[in-house]
Amino acid sequence: MAKKVLIIDDEVAFTEMVKLNLEETGRFHVKIENDPRAAVSSALKFLPHIILLDVIMPEMEGPDILEAFRHEPLLRDVPIIFLTATVRKTEVKEQAGTIGGHMFLAKPCSVEELITTIDRHLI
């Protein structure tokens, strides 16, 4: 059974590329939400196994969305992987890939890197 991945990021081209790459493996069913204000309602409708969440977006940032998820019983335990272009790959290694207890990846990241991180959370 394919795992459901929700990507919340305002960069349409980036989300489309990630969706295509993940779905090409046959292991994932991916939904995209490019409007951060609709993140909670999209997640409640889709009920993903894991969420890829951009940190910096207009109108509502990733940490604010995470906080909103934690107030929803159906979403509070869904693993979150933060995606951000504001850190370098060396910073990810220095932080052991976590910020505040949540995994994060520096954008751009390879498909292999992303799948490895998703697998770590879903096992």
Average pLDDT of the chain to the nearest whole number? 87
Question: Domain range holding 113?
Answer: 3-122
Output the pTM of the full model: 0.87
Q: What is the CATH number of the domain that holds 68?
A: 3.40.50.2300
CA distances from 121 to 70, 79, 86, 104 (A): 17, 7, 23, 12
Tens digits of residue pLDDT in 25-72 = 999 999 999 999 999 999 999 999 999 999 889 888 888 999 999 999
Distance (Å, whole) CA 57 – CA 10: 6
Q: Is the pLDDT reported for residue 96 higher than 70?
A: no
Domains in the chain, number: 1
pLDDT tens for residues 17-33? 999 999 999 999 999 99
